[in-house]
Structure 1
Amino acid sequence: MNVSDSPAKTYLRSMLDINPVWQSASALQLRRKTLRMPNHDRRQTGVDSDSVDDMVAKHQNRAKARETVSHLQQQFFHLSDEELSTGLASLNADEVPELAPTIRRLQIAASERNSFVTMLADKKFDRELVIALGKSVVLPQSDAGYVREKFIQNLTTKNSRKRARETSLKIQKAYPDLFALERDWLTTLQNSKASGPMKSGGASLLNYRVLFFGTLIAYQIAKIFLMD
């Protein structure tokens, strides 16, 4: 028998594919099955006596679902309507509960995908904000956070902040479902004092001036005492 086909190899691959947060019971059941250990009472474990092959198949399906989600996130605006619809239809949130929020976001974004085209064609909307919103809605949270932070950091002028604020308000009114997905971020942009590097740069300059004059005054006081 090939090593890659050994029960041990199959067991290890399956265990590595298990999410301990959501599938702790499945991990224990798989271990019992592999080691041929007796099962506990179902009333205690709540786990059906599935075969190892069935459990491995479930884990493979979960892995496939994660791959599909990742593909949809990265290619969301490049896929045809049919490809996007087919990809989303293949996902069952009940089978991958840890991905359920992400799948829901993608479904809402898919229903609003044409809205991004409409906003980009409307010169009243801040183009950069619309593009950032599109990325933020579909990308993984780590990448989306970077997109949001970068956009805020680029608000270096009063006009850019004003345009972002007005666009955020327009999105809230015209596209409430999209707004709801990024409510915290878009609401932040509606703050007239929200700013990027300009604000932090001004604060740094102020701190520098305070430090400079403070040091100068301390130096003058020291000279007076030394002269005495």
Structure 2
Amino acid sequence: MSDSRKQEYLSQILQMNPLEQPAEILNRRKLFLQPQSDSRLHDSMNSSYEERRAQILEQINSLRKHFWSFKTSVIEQRLNEIDIADFPELTFAIGRLKKIAALRESFSQLQHRCENCEEFYTQFSTLVISSPAEAERLRSVTFSPSPANTFDFELPRLEDHRELARIVQQEFPELHALEKDWINQLAATSKKSNAIAWMVQTLHTLIAITAGISVVLILYLCL
């Protein structure tokens, strides 16, 4: 190994900040120790850390977008092709998608059970593959009261959601584990909402009956 190559390597390393450029430092060290490494290492060195991370996130988000339309083998292959060696913080995202891909059969069975309430399956299947930030937003939307539906008493739909949440809890423990808090809260919220909606609907019915009786009495007294 020539002295000039050593000097060039040391010069490059000394100019880099180990707190901000750890991945680049490791790559340059690997290239220095293994000069015959394949061209992918050279390409990665030419791209900044941020650019490569953005590219990987784009790949992951693209997989999320088309997750349920791809075959399991395609998903697993593409996930395995994503190199996150320099990005340990993305390990969870890749691992979660791999886990969900492995549970594809369970999701198919659940979808069959949700034939009469596709909304539940759509919400659940979207939630489990979403990014952490998007998943948090979806959870909050699920349990936020909707002014537009304040007087929309869809008792059967609420009961369907509660029943499907119970089915996931009891019959699909592997799916329940993916969103345990969401499923449990949905089951409890649906049951409570059912009771509240029934009470409000009953109250409105009583008010309508009372108003009707009042009108009849007024008309009778006017005769």
2:161 counterpart residue number: 164
Give the counterpart of 1:81 among 60, 63, 72: 72
1:25 counterpart residue number: 19
Output the CA distance in 2 between the equivalents of 1:93 and 1:170.
36
Please, what TM-score do these two structures have when normalized by structure 1?
Answer: 0.56
TM-superposed CA distance for 1:143, in Å, is 2.7
Gaps in structure 2 of 5+ consecutive residues? 1-15, 32-40, 201-223
1:104 counterpart residue number: 95
Aligned 8 A contact 2:75 2:101 in 1: yes
1:181 counterpart residue number: 178
Number of residue equivalences? 164
Output the CA distance in 2 between the equivalents of 1:85 and 1:49.
30
1:47-66 matches, within 5 Å, as: 50=29, 55-56=45-46, 59=49, 61-66=52-57
Output the CA distance in 2 between the equivalents of 1:62 and 1:96.
7
Matched AA of 2:81: S
Give the counterpart of 1:128 among 115, 119, 128: 119
Matched AA of 1:165: R
Aligned 8 A contact 1:125 1:167 in 2: no
| Alpha-carbon distance change, 181 to 123 in structure 1, aligned in 2, over 3 angstroms | closer
Output the CA distance in 2 between the equivalents of 1:29 and 1:132.
38
TM-superposed CA distance for 1:123, in Å, is 4.9
TM-superposed CA distance for 1:121, in Å, is 2.1
Matched AA of 1:90: E
Tell me, what secondary structure is at the counterpart of 1:25?
coil
Aligned 8 A contact 1:161 1:194 in 2: no
2:139 counterpart residue number: 148
Matched AA of 1:184: D
1:114-138 CA distance string (max 9 Å, x none): 3333222225773211110100011
Aligned 8 A contact 2:114 2:121 in 1: no
Regions of 4+ moved over 6 Å? none
Tell me, what secondary structure is at the counterpart of 2:68?
coil
| Alpha-carbon distance change, 48 to 135 in structure 1, aligned in 2, over 3 angstroms | closer
Structure 1 window deviating more from structure 2 (185-194 vs 115-124): it is 115-124
| Alpha-carbon distance change, 179 to 29 in structure 1, aligned in 2, over 3 angstroms | closer
Output the CA distance in 1 between the equivalents of 2:185 and 2:58.
33
Gaps in structure 1 of 5+ consecutive residues? 1-14, 16-22, 34-46, 203-228
| Alpha-carbon distance change, 129 to 148 in structure 1, aligned in 2, over 3 angstroms | farther
Please report the RMSD computed on the Cα atoms of aligned residues, expressed in angstroms. Answer: 3.8
Tell me, what secondary structure is at the counterpart of 1:168?
helix
TM-superposed CA distance for 1:49, in Å, is 5.6
TM-superposed CA distance for 1:158, in Å, is 3.6
Aligned 8 A contact 1:132 1:148 in 2: no
Identity %: 22
Output the CA distance in 1 between the equivalents of 2:23 and 2:156.
60
